[in-house]
């Protein structure tokens, strides 16, 4: 049998009550938290199942083994396929059936492209975080953070476009503002300490601010449409609130490291906070995409007031 096909059995712990044998390629082994390099030590409550010290080729092969990154990798890889398929369906079916114009096609293409970039950047980081070079790992981490910014942009573009569909001035103001904020975040990543653990809370604060600033155009949109009693506000504001609730829940899991904080070593492979974060991010993007479809149909069925006719 060729050497590259040889397998070695490795037993991993799933919870505290069962062990599953997992066949892994030779030269790929799993490490405990104490055995991994310092730059990989992000979560002390995940005690086992780490990949480390691998060249790029084996990093790629490790996608098919069960490690503590398996769910993180596949959740966003499947998320990418979801948004890619939604894009194809939108461009070939949903938009033509809705009588979409050129602007609609551009907005949907931008939004779904941003979601796909976010998913792929995340997959890349979690796949290559086990690389033997710390510099390579840091580059993928930077790309992952950049992907988060792009994903946030993908939420803002359709939201602002359709919220201010009948007001070209404010639509342009808010789109340019959001784009400037995202570019500012990209610029901050150039700082040599941006990816350090010392700046962990600074990074979180930056992303919270970028996401939270969306409440400003949302409140402005409510005011322009006559307040909370307006039919259009009552129709769409709950969908905005649900999106923020999903995002807030995802962030809380990410920050608090719950539930593994209370069950250290028991959720190494399944059920950890970062996995929940990944799934909620996919759910949030999907929810916002469906909201964009909903509001597009509404905008096409309602004419703009004469004084704010869309230019």
pLDDT band at 277 (very low <50, low <70, confident <90, very high): very high
- In the annotated binding site for Zn(2+), the residues are 126, 274, 278
* Percent of residues, the chain, with pLDDT higher than 90: 80
Domains, in order of start, for the chain: 51-300 (1.20.1070)
pLDDT reading at 10 higher than 60: no
Q: Mean pLDDT throughout 203-209?
A: 91
| Preceding amide of 118 cis, omega within 30 | no
Helices (H), 189-268: 200-212, 215-224, 231-256
pLDDT reading at 24 higher than 90: no
pLDDT band at 86 (very low <50, low <70, confident <90, very high): very high
Task: Give me the chain's average pLDDT, please.
Answer: 90
pLDDT digits (tens, 9 = 90+) for 171-191: 999 999 999 999 999 888 878
Q: Mean pLDDT throughout 61-67?
A: 94
- HSE of 240, CA atoms in CB hemisphere, 13 A: 23
pLDDT reading at 3 higher than 50: no
CB of 48 closer than 8 Å to CB of 95:
no
pLDDT band at 306 (very low <50, low <70, confident <90, very high): low
Determine the pLDDT at residue 198: 81
CA distances from residue 21 to 3, 13, 27, 156 in whole angstroms, order as listed: 21, 9, 17, 45
Determine the pLDDT at residue 25: 59
Tokens matching residue 153: 């942009």
pLDDT reading at 8 higher than 70: no
pLDDT digits (tens, 9 = 90+) for 27-52: 789 999 999 999 999 999 999 999 99
- In the annotated binding site, the residues are 126, 274, 278
- CA dist 126 and 76 (Å) reads 10
- Classify burial at 118, counting beta carbons within 10 Å of its beta carbon; exposed 0-12, middle 13-18, buried 19 or more: buried
């Amino acid at each position: 049998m060729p050497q590259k096909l040889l397998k070695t059995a490795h037993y991993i712990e799933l919870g505290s009550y069962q062990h599953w044998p997992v066949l892994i390629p030779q030269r790929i082994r799993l490490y405990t938290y104490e055995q991994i390099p310092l730059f990989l030590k992000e979560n002390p409550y995940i005690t086992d199942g780490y990949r480390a010290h691998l060249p790029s080729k084996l990093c790629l092969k490790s996608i098919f083994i069960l490690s503590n990154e398996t769910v993180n990798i596949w959740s966003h890889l499947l998320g990418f396929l979801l948004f890619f398929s939604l894009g194809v369906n939108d461009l070939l079916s949903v938009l033509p059936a809705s009588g979409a114009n050129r602007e609609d096609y551009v907005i949907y293409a931008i939004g779904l492209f941003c979601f796909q970039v976010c998913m792929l950047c995340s997959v890349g980081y979690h796949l290559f975080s086990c690389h033997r070079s710390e510099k390579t790992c840091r580059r993928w981490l930077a790309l992952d953070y950049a992907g988060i910014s792009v994903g946030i942009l993908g939420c803002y573009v359709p939201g602002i476009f359709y919220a201010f569909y009948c007001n070209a001035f404010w639509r342009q103001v808010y789109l340019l503002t959001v784009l400037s904020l995202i570019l500012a975040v990209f610029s901050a990543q150039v700082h040599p300490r941006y990816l350090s653990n010392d700046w962990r809370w600074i990074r979180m604060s930056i992303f919270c601010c970028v996401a939270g600033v969306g409440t400003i155009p949302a409140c402005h949109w409510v005011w322009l449409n006559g307040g909370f009693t307006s039919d259009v506000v009552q129709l769409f504001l709950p969908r905005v609130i649900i999106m923020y609730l999903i995002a807030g829940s995802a962030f809380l899991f990410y920050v608090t490291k719950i539930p593994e904080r209370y069950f250290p070593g028991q959720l190494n492979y399944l059920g950890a906070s970062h996995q929940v974060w990944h799934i909620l991010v996919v759910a949030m993007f999907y929810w916002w995409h469906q909201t964009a479809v909903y509001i597009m149909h509404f905008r096409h069925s309602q004419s703009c007031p004469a004084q704010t006719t869309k230019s």
